[in-house]
A and B are shown apart, each in its own frame.
Chain A
């Protein structure tokens, strides 16, 4: 048992490490592809050669990030086969389709048009080149779509049915999988956050150029584009974040409760702005939820249900299966104790199916399959011994959510100052504190971006597939020591790649900025 937990924890840590490193590169690729396309559009529209130089400068940084980041996501797919073989088999039919489409998009669109972007200057017409640049941005974005559809399906598994003979979930409705309640918000939220991140990256590098008084005109021009892309990206990220909160409230209420550290829900529930969780608090006890808090009255009801007086269930309510409808009447959903019973019944039926299959008894197989289908939606709960097993790590989810929201708000303030200064008061851009604000916003935006994924992925624990498969069931029967070994191999490999990226980028920026970027 201890070895199983150890294998689960190391596999989880390894997957988190790989995904987080991968996500260092991806949002910058998504956002910089747009920044570069906008800059090149200005070049083609105005005909000013200086914009060509500026475009090429940022395109090179895009290329460095693209090259270092490419294929880092493949490792996640290796991990599915090795560490998460039960999971891979259980959902491979569904999960494989979006990943395969992503692979095709990535290969054909990005590979073709990225080549034209980099090799096509002066070899193809300006407009053809511009088209290739925009198509690269589109290709990168569409690649992200399919990955995020796959992720969203795990948070809200729809459009499939379980086939006990194949022991697989089989896709029955491609469009339900693609356009499920979580996917579109998740897709746009991730893409817009990529725009914001890349815009902030441009602001940060431009601030450095201004601080060092190198290529000042190019820095101001870049700042204008970067700040706009960041502003639009950040505002849309907040907007889609609101949509995500509504979707989470509906399909993953436990995650929302963990995000808020909310154990006992109320109508007109407050939103904790700043707070310190009571680490001694456990589901069902009488300890206070918070040691300290600054709250917005009715905030969570507005955020989750767009109604200032709506009831938002807490962890205890969800476990007890209690909610309140729009009319204010208490309604009973399915309690976690009942879900656990249903899950265990589903496991029994699957065992019966297996026995009938071994005996060649078709009618018993059919009967077991029919019974299994009735309880299958709670299949994953059958692995728990108590309802508390289905509660995610509250503290990490709660604090990550605040890092995301407050960090994002601080960044939005910096971005708006940069938009205003670069368009209305350029002399303001000479202030060293503003340069430092711009430069420091680079690490901050990555912290915020990672925090967002921690909220999404830690908040859905213990599920790898919501309600159907907990992480402990998804794991392969392999020793923890082998996962530990590959964890450290990855840590070294990815750190080396990251160091290489930063080093090449810094050298390039330093070298290019000593000359004239605009030529």
Chain B
């Protein structure tokens, strides 16, 4: 009996899984076809990628460290640093 239930649950799970997979595939296809049919959008995507690269991999990494996070190890020392800075 338990074996039948196991199979049944497995079947339901598999059928749900298949449905989900189909849905994911249709969403994937929707985006893929959309990206492929772009005209002006291609140029824009190149710009977006260049921009995001500059923002996250150049500016953030080399020019914009989080001062408190990088210089102090925990929240207590960060709080102390701000307290000292604001009351000096």
Contacts and interface: CB of A to CB of B under 8 A. Distances in A.
Please say whether chains A and B are actual partners in one complex.
yes
B47 A500 contact: yes
A78 B67 CA distance: 10
A119 interface: yes
Interface stretch (A85-93, A282-290, A446-454): A85-93
A82 B66 CA distance: 5
B13 interface: no
A89 B81 CA distance: 10
A74 interface: yes
B1 interface: no
A123 B64 CA distance: 43
B27 to A, nearest CB: 9
A89 B64 contact: no
Given A79-B64, A486-B63, A90 B82 contact: yes
B83 to A, nearest CB: 5
B6 to A, nearest CB: 37
B87 A354 contact: yes
Contact of A71 (B40, B52, B64, B79): B52
Interface stretch (A59-67, A327-335, A429-437): A59-67
Contacts, number: 108
A234 to B, nearest CB: 30
Contact of B55 (A71, A79, A82, A119): A71
Contacts of A78: 59-60, 64
Contacts of B68: 81, 85, 88-89
B87 A347 contact: yes
B85 interface: yes
Contact of A89 (B59, B82, B87): B82
B41 A68 contact: no
A486 B64 contact: yes
B47 A82 contact: no
A350 B86 contact: yes
B69 A81 contact: yes
A63 B40 contact: yes
A489 B51 CA distance: 13
A85 B64 contact: no
B40 A86 contact: no
Interface of A: 60, 63-64, 67-68, 70-71, 74-75, 78-79, 81-82, 85-86, 88-90, 115, 118-120, 123, 164-168, 347, 350-351, 354, 473, 476-478, 482, 485-486, 489, 493, 497, 500, 504, 508
Given A165-B79, A500-B47, 16 more contacts: A68-B51, A71-B48, A71-B52, A81-B64, A82-B65, A86-B82, A90-B82, A115-B31, A115-B34, A118-B38, A118-B41, A123-B30, A164-B83, A350-B83, A473-B85, A497-B51
* Closest 7 pairs (CB-CB, A-B): A119-B34, A81-B66, A78-B64, A67-B44, A167-B79, A85-B67, A82-B64
Interface of B: 30-31, 33-35, 37-38, 40-41, 43-45, 47-48, 51-52, 54-55, 59-60, 63-69, 75, 78-80, 82-87
